[in-house]
Amino acid sequence: MKYRPLGRTGLNVSEISFGTWAIGGSWGNVNDTDSLHALQQAMEQGVNFFDTADVYGNGHSEELLAKATAGREDKIHIATKFCRSTDIHDPESYSEKSIRALCQSSLKRLNREAIDLYQIHCPPFEILKQGAVFEVLDKLQAEGKIRHYGVSVETVEEGLFCLEQPNVQALQVILNLFRQKPFAELLPAAHAKGVGILARLPLASGLLTGKFKEQTQFEVDDHRRFNENGEQFNVGETFAGLGFAKGLELSRQLAWIAEGARA
């Protein structure tokens, strides 16, 4: 496993990290035994950075991480996210009272004294521009509840705005072969500011694994079925916003990359 610094946080994290949306829910049938086994296998392979959120299975993925990493808190870094378990459009969701309660709940589920990286979870741009949420995070950081904070964003514009906030130390952004726009401006700007980048959905909801066929059916509780066209949340989160049929077609045109890697 290779490691690299996450911006200026001081965290040295594995290049391949582990996102836990799937083990929390909204990806079809999953069981805790398999999830815990996967977490253990990842750590044995050198993964030391895990990303989760309070909304993944209503906190279930955080609880699983606590079980899997017990006794290794000083070696395994955890990033979690907040706000999408509430009404993301309600300014009250970003009040000091609300964020403190959300943070404390995550700390309890994770069984940790501090969160390594606490991230605002794809909030509306208007909320970010109001700025109050950053002031609350500054307080939590000063108190030692969180070590660092960042933002998971949907657009390059949002990311560039967040880079202007002095204490934002990481950005999480959709980045894969279908979604390369951040390479042009956002990534160079983040590098110049010393802000870490977390690439999320690198396999475009599984499209880039090469395992899907036209006949593939997703379960009713899988976002790849109930959010294909953005019915529940940002469409870019599901199949990179392409839709299954178009995404499958394009992924096959990219199969030569994998074939070349195996040669």
> Known catalytic residues?
56
Strands (E), the chain: 3-5, 12-14, 18-19, 49-51, 77-82, 115-121, 146-152, 168-174, 196-200
| Backbone conformation region of residue 58, classed left if phi is above 0, alpha if psi is from -120 to 50, else beta | left
CA distance linking residue 47 with residue 1, whole number of Å: 7
Instruction: For helices 96-110 and 60-69, give the axis angle rounded to 10 degrees.
Output: 40
CA distance linking residue 215 with residue 212, whole number of Å: 8
Q: What angle do CA 83, 87, 93 make, to 5 degrees?
A: 55
| Backbone conformation region of residue 76, classed left if phi is above 0, alpha if psi is from -120 to 50, else beta | beta
3-class secondary-structure state, position 168: strand
| DSSP states along 99-159 | HHHHHHHHHHHHT-SSEEEEEEES--HHHHHH-HHHHHHHHHHHTTSEEEEEEE-SSHHHH
CA distance linking residue 131 with residue 142, whole number of Å: 17
